[in-house]
């Protein structure tokens, strides 16, 4: 099934019901016409990071179900799968064989040994300072092999996520084999997680290196084009990188929109949001929330440093049940990268503000993605957060089928679903966008047009008042969209 310009759900296999079967039941029961696609977050056996330290791509983690369950889901929704082009699990057969046999292992060339990477076997302090790091030191782990020798092995993220040497033919073969496998298993689009960390050269920042990154992406695209499968490179950084990707024809993420919408709804200012809606790429997936936090670095220069800080402060003062401490090392997070909070709670658990935020997203250029907690207008899960002491878990509630049935009775859900159905079915969203804001006011108007079809969102960011109108070419009249308030 190919990509559709319809709302895509982001979910774990065990977050809307306990497994893939229950997920399919919930979606076909409640969201058949409001959700067109599903980004199924990593469902492979994994040793860390909620699936993002895959041990293999050839299996479905047994508690989630089987490939038959994935196939059943793909019969109803187009699917996005994850491929971690930067790393593989330390507990995988590949790395364990490397530990056992060292350089005699058939998988040795998948990994990056410091002594072979750096000209002098070790990086200088200047080398380390240049690297775009996720740790306060050089990105490696010390590995003791079965023969008793020790080596430093490149490791950017968690110690269970060992980086791959994407330059080596052995790794390229590994990538090809697994991408083709995932294509055969029903992926319409494959998300390349953390791809910008995969390219590495001594003397560089080892992040989004050019032209290395383009060569890697072009090779992967060439592998999947014959399968009819698209790729979505994932990167949290300055929006200009998304622009570069878009210029080369790749799908991109709109990770700037979440903070811009919050800024607009907190401040009552429409200008920053309007500016971005006019300039943002068209071939993109939009987000307000994801399995990670609300990105901060993505909005640099679209908001000033002061505006970013004010928006961050407003989240803690105007949002519901969210504290600064949840975004610190005490909860395994640094808020320089992201803010941990559900989007519904970021807007104070206010239904009108939340539905307006989604209306803005649905009128923005691109295909909307809605995270499962956002789909259910979920509040911060303080209990799970305190139980695990992991900041991101504030936005990772586990819903039972019964809980979802009950949630569907809330008025906010009917408003949201009516809006999603309209977004999925009305032809204007295939066409152009025009954005009008009245200077110095909180008013914004977003107009989508394709042929005779025209949909208009008029909103007041300060009061959360809004309306959606659309032209019905059969009746030759403009109508109000009902059931969205």
Catalytic (active site) residue 49: no
- Round to whole Å and give the CA distance between 409 and 399: 15
Give CA–CA dist 54/86, Å, rounded: 11
* H or E element, residue 239: helix 239-247
Smallest CA-to-CA distance from 167 within 127, 201, 126, 193 is with: 201
CA distances from 108 to 93, 103, 174, 201 (A): 12, 5, 12, 19
Q: What is the 3-state secondary structure (H, E, C) of 247-292?
A: HCCCCEEECCHHHHHHHHHHHCCCHHHHHHHHHCCCCEEECCCCCC
DSSP 150-201: EEEEE-SSSTTEEEP-TTSHHHHHHHHHHHHHHHHTTEEEEEETTGGGS---
Distances in Å between the Cα of 13 and the Cα atoms of 40, 98, 357, 480 are: 7, 31, 26, 37
Q: Is 357:416 a contact under the CB 8 Å cutoff?
A: no
CA-based nearest residue to 214, from 226, 225, 227, 198: 198
Beta bridge partners of 8: 37, 369
Give residues with Cβ within 8 angstroms of 186, minimum separation 6: 1, 70, 71, 73, 74, 79
CB 94 within 8 A of CB 110: yes
CA–CA dist 434, 192 (Å, integer): 31
List 234, 307, 381, 437, catalytic entry: 234
| Residue 276 CA to its chain's centroid (Å) | 19
Nearest residue to 297 (alpha-carbon basis) of 318, 314, 312, 284:
312
Concerning whether 215 is annotated as a catalytic residue, the answer is no
Question: What whole-number distance in Å separates Cα of residue 174 and Cα of residue 97?
Answer: 15
Contact 462, 448 (CB under 8 A): no
Give 476's Cβ-side CA count (13 Å radius).
0
Check 193, 254, 298, 351 and give the catalytic one: 193
How many beta carbons lie within 10 A of that of residue 135, not counting itself?
A: 13
Q: Do 298 and 326 touch, CB atoms closer than 8 A?
A: no
DSSP character for 93?
H
Chain-centroid distance of CA 131 in Å reads: 24
Which residues are catalytically annotated? 193, 234
């Amino acid at each position: 099934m190919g990509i559709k310009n319809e709302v895509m759900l982001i979910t774990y296999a065990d977050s809307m019901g306990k497994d893939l079967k229950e997920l399919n039941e919930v979606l076909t029961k409640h969201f058949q016409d409001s959700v067109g696609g599903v980004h199924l977050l990593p469902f492979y056996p994994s040793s860390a990071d909620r699936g993002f330290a895959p041990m293999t791509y050839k299996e479905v983690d047994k508690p989630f179900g089987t490939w038959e369950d994935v196939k059943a889901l793909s019969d109803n929704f187009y699917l996005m799968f994850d491929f971690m082009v930067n790393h593989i699990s330390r507990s995988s057969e590949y790395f364990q064989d490397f530990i056992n046999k060292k350089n005699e292992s058939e998988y040795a060339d998948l990994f990056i040994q410091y002594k072979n990477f750096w000209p002098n076997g070790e990086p200088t302090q200047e080398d380390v300072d240049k690297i775009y790091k996720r740790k306060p030191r050089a990105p490696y782990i010390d590995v003791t092999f079965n023969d008793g020798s020790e080596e430093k092995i490149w490791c950017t993220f968690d110690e269970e996520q060992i980086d791959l040497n994407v330059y080596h033919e052995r790794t390229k073969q590994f990538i090809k084999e697994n991408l083709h496998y995932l294509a055969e298993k029903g992926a319409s689009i494959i998300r390349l997680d953390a791809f910008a960390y995969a390219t590495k050269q001594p003397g560089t920042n080892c992040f989004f290196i050019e032209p290395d990154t383009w060569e890697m992406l072009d090779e992967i695209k060439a592998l999947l084009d014959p399968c009819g499968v698209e790729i979505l490179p994932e990167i949290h950084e300055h929006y200009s990188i998304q622009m570069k990707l878009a210029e080369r024809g790749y799908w991109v993420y709109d990770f700037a929109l979440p903070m811009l919408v919050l800024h607009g709804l907190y401040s009552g200012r429409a200008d920053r949001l309007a500016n971005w809606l006019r300039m943002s790429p068209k071939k993109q997936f939009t987000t307000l929330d994801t399995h990670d936090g609300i990105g901060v670095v993505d909005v640099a220069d679209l908001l000033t440093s002061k505006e970013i800080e004010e928006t961050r402060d407003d989240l803690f003062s105007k949002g519901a049940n969210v504290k600064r401490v949840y975004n610190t090392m005490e909860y395994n997070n640094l808020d320089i990268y992201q803010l941990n909070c559900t989007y519904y709670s970021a807007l104070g658990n206010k239904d009108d503000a939340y539905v307006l935020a989604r209306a803005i997203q649905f009128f923005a250029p691109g295909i909307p993605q809605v995270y499962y907690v956002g789909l259910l207008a979920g509040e911060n899960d303080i209990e799970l957060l305190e139980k695990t002491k992991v900041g991101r878990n504030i936005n990772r509630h586990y819903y039972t089928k019964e809980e979802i049935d009950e949630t569907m009775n809330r008025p906010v859900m009917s408003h949201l679903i009516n809006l999603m159905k309209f977004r999925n079915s009305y032809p204007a969203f295939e066409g152009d966008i025009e954005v009008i804001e009245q200077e110095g006011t909180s008013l914004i108007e977003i107009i989508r047009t394709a042929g005779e079809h025209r949909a208009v969102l008029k909103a007041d960011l300060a009061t959360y008042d809004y309306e959606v109108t659309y032209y019905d070419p059969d009746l030759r009249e403009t109508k109000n969209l009902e059931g969205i308030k």
